Structure 1
Amino acid sequence: MIVPLAVAAALLAGTIGAHALDQPDPTDPGFLSPVATDDDGGSRLADALRARGVTVRRETDLLPALLALDNAPATLFVPAPELLHPDTLGALGELPAGRRLVLVDPARRMLETAGLPVVPTDRRWATRAVGPAADGRPCPLPEATRAGVAAAQLQRYAAAPDGPVALDRCYAGGLVRLPGRAETVVIGASDPFRNDRIAERGNEALGVGLLGVHDRVVWLDLDGPAPPPTFGRPGGDGEPAWSPTPGGSTEHDNGGTGEGQGQPGGPGPATDQHDGPGDPPGQGGPPPPDDHPLRDAFPPWFWALLVQLALVALLVVLWRARRLGPPVGEPLPVEVRSAETVLGRARLYQRARARGPAAATLRTATLGRVRDRLDLPTTTGHAELATRVAERVGGDPEQIHELLYGAAPRTDAELVALARSLDRLTRTVAAAPGRPTEGDPR
């Protein structure tokens, strides 16, 4: 029973580990980046947008991305919302009118902090390609209707219980739109934007349609968790403004890269640093402290696999451990004759040449039988026991003492002779008292 459970647990651990390896990690550098050409990058989507005449502007910090929305209507694309710092999420809910915000698989904490009346509901094991009206409701988004079947159903969303407005739902809740001065689009799957899945079904049409509503896309490309905002030079209205993160870069004008940008393989990022309070001139603020360096050193799938392997190891330990409770008598699978047992044990003694232990075993058995016959306690001394046996059999006490307590035999012949003498002594003691019998040792 334990073996099938252990095998099932091992298969489950392998399945979960393989699934974790197959799923993209939004915290990895280059995830849905417009300049990343690997499977989890978004370079193919950026090229498709430029082919339609849409300007793609890449920003690596939230403040420059928000400032880029002030000039004209544009779409702010946030492919990894969980990398944003909680202190900056409130600005996403206050975008200027006529703008669109597209969030990919945001968590509940992020939506609540940003003040968006959207909540995640159930989540599938893997992304499913469905039609825009998969749940029987018509989809009000024309870009989703034109795309048709797409891989957009992984995490589903719904309106918050106390939400002020109703949501526009598509793909059975995998894609929702929150109307308003600045509309917000939340999609629960990254598949329509990734290089490895964009060519499947209507993924490219959906990704291009969601981001190509306006002629400009501000693509927020974060390569790690954003640090907390710092306050630097005052803004135009006299209020303190967020300072851009060191290393921020911009890409715009149909893929043109500004001077000094940081790209993979480039000469290094040009930094626009603002001195925080108490910082030396020309240096940015200190990086945020890392509270869990060991946990952050490994990807999430590693910890999931480690937990599954620990569970399998626990099942193996329980399987191999000793059964709890008192021993339970069970019938022997086969019946072994006593003569076979004695012969087998004797052969073990013979193979090990253990004449001393064999003689001690024979003498111990003889002493037990003699004491029981003569009704003597186990505390009876050697000399007294030899005397009582001699009185019983009519022999010499010294010879009986040597027979019962003498030295170990040195050869197999001496061991055989000792065994025969002990057997005769036992038979003699068992005979009628006061009458010597044949076999009395002399």
Structure 2
Amino acid sequence: MRRRRRRHRVLVPLALAAALLAGTIAAHELDQPDPGDPGFLSPVATDDDGGSRLADALRARGVTVARETDLLPALLGLDRGPATLFVPAAELLHPDTLGALGELPAGRRLVLVDPSRRVLESAGLPLVPTDRRWATRAVGPEAGGRPCAVPEATRAGVAAAGLQRYAAAPGTAAALDRCYADGLVRLPGRAEVVVIGASDPFRNDRIAEHGNEALATGLLGVHGRVVWLDLDGPAPAPTFGRPGGTGEPAWSPTPGGSTGYDGDGTGEGGPGGPGTATGDGDGSGDAPDSAGPPPPDDHPLLDAFPPWFWALLLQLALVALLIVLWRARRLGPPVTEPLPVEVRSAETVLGRARLYQRARARGPAAATLRTAALGRLRGRLDLPATLGPAEVAARVAGPAGGTPEQIHELLFGAAPQTDAELLELARSLDRLTRTVAAAPGRPTEGDPR
């Protein structure tokens, strides 16, 4: 029965901790989908993580929704007039094409959902991600004590935008409009950039909560036309050179007159026309080395694992700490326990004496005998603990029938040099304590009455 109780004391807390961890991880995975999943915020996806309800709401407001599955057609669609480029999964874009997001034509708006530091730096946007919550929180547009200057957010009110926060990059003087405790940031300029750190307002399963629908439709429908970049997976590297091998780029990352494949091969751009390549001009079709590798993140180890992994690791550490505290020895008064073996007092004294003899510790043995004798004498004669050696010898000399000098030498003298001297000291101390105990006076504990 006792063994079963001990097993329950170990298994029950571990089972509860495991259930708590599993429930927390499952709830987080359901609440925060992976942007790389197929159909994530797609205008034609009807599952929980899709964006079909948002697309329908935009069309109901008279907003034109143009779905594009590649960045080049999406950029070309911005040349037809004012529009909003909606990029819900910028991480899927190739690093060599991210620079085009920071060079949109004037009068356009770019809406990015939860972009990483790599995306922001590659796009040339003076923003950096800061704090991130474990789960999305619904907050007001003026949360954090800062007024919100984005009218779409002010009209929407409370929305589920409190997840990832953003701030101006160090060393930049960018004027930012911040809302929802820095969960939504607008960067004014020729092309307006809006960064929101949560996908909840755009998803089918959360769009009907709070002011999510008003916020999403307001951010995307400001120009009456939305170019929705719907990527179903990581985008391939951009191709340069047309099929004829003239070396002209298939597309340029700068929209607004300098984009596009020049169908007739004349090359009318760039330094020599919108479609001219920036290579060495030999027609070999080599790709210009302009983009280069993306800048490394500040914390590559942190970015190597998903956020839920670090949260799980932290919770496992807390569970281990709780188990250590639970199994550790508790502080409290001493508890008496039965001795496993009874040892006679005479055997204990004999064993200790043999240890002293083997170590030739005559000094410590003599000190132990004198301390024990002084304790008995003080209890018998009511001697205060503050008395010095001379006063103790004078008080003991009377009942013992000796001189103070003899008593002082016996109780506080030098250590014996031989075993015979130690034996004689022990006998003298025993006679002294017996003589004082037999003298008339106040009986002490153990004395015959």
State the shift of 1:15 in Å. 3.9
Going from structure 1 to structure 2, the CA distance change for 1:5 and 1:243 (only over 3 Å counts) comes to farther
CA distance in 1, matches of 2:144, 2:185: 13
Going from structure 1 to structure 2, the CA distance change for 1:83 and 1:9 (only over 3 Å counts) comes to same
CA distance in 2, matches of 1:225, 1:314: 39
CA distance in 2, matches of 1:64, 1:27: 21
Task: Show the counterpart of 1:202.
Answer: 211
State the shift of 1:313 in Å. 11
Alpha carbons 2:44, 2:52 under 8 Å: kept: yes
Task: Show the counterpart of 2:21.
Answer: 13
Across the two proteins, how many residue pairs are aligned to each other? 279
Q: 1:74 aligns with which of 76, 83, 88?
A: 83
1:68 match: secondary structure = helix
Task: Show the counterpart of 2:56.
Answer: 47
TM-score, length of structure 2 as denominator length: 0.54
2:163 match: secondary structure = strand
CA distance in 2, matches of 1:142, 1:192: 16
CA distance in 1, matches of 2:321, 2:144: 42
- The runs of 5 or more residues in structure 2 that have no matched partner are 1-8, 254-283, 287-304, 329-334, 343-449
Q: 1:107 aligns with which of 102, 107, 116?
A: 116
CA distance in 1, matches of 2:309, 2:135: 20
Task: Show the counterpart of 1:161.
Answer: 170
After superposition, give the CA deviation of every residue in 1:272-298 in whole Å (9 maximum; x if it has no partner). Answer: xxxx979xxxxxxxxxxxxxxxxxxxx
Going from structure 1 to structure 2, the CA distance change for 1:315 and 1:150 (only over 3 Å counts) comes to closer
After superposition, give the CA deviation of every residue in 1:349-381 in whole Å (9 maximum; x if it has no partner). Answer: xxxxxxxxxxxxxxxxxxxxxxxxxxxxxxxxx
CA distance in 1, matches of 2:315, 2:157: 42
- The runs of 5 or more residues in structure 1 that have no matched partner are 245-275, 279-298, 324-329, 338-442
Going from structure 1 to structure 2, the CA distance change for 1:150 and 1:317 (only over 3 Å counts) comes to closer
Going from structure 1 to structure 2, the CA distance change for 1:34 and 1:310 (only over 3 Å counts) comes to same
Alpha carbons 1:26, 1:80 under 8 Å: kept: yes
After superposition, give the CA deviation of every residue in 1:237-270 in whole Å (9 maximum; x if it has no partner). Answer: x9513399xxxxxxxxxxxxxxxxxxxxxxxxxx
Task: Show the counterpart of 1:38.
Answer: 47
State the shift of 1:166 in Å. 1.2
Relative contact order (alpha carbons < 8 A, sep ≥ 6): 1 or 2 greater? 1
2:160 match: secondary structure = strand
Task: Show the counterpart of 2:414.
Answer: none
Task: Show the counterpart of 1:174.
Answer: 183
Q: 1:65 aligns with which of 43, 62, 74?
A: 74
Alpha carbons 1:150, 1:202 under 8 Å: kept: yes
Task: Show the counterpart of 2:200.
Answer: 191
Give identity over the alignment, percent.
Answer: 74
1:204 match: secondary structure = helix
Going from structure 1 to structure 2, the CA distance change for 1:147 and 1:306 (only over 3 Å counts) comes to closer
CA RMSD of aligned residues (A): 3.9
After superposition, give the CA deviation of every residue in 1:127-147 in whole Å (9 maximum; x if it has no partner). Answer: 111111112222111111111
What pairs with 1:119-158 in structure 2 (closer than 5 Å)?
119-158=128-167
State the shift of 1:84 in Å. 1.1
Q: Does 1:226 align with 2:238?
A: no
CA distance in 1, matches of 2:78, 2:202: 22
Worse-superposed segment, 181-190 or 154-163: 154-163
Task: Show the counterpart of 2:222.
Answer: 213
Going from structure 1 to structure 2, the CA distance change for 1:14 and 1:114 (only over 3 Å counts) comes to same
CA distance in 1, matches of 2:180, 2:315: 36
CA distance in 1, matches of 2:178, 2:317: 40
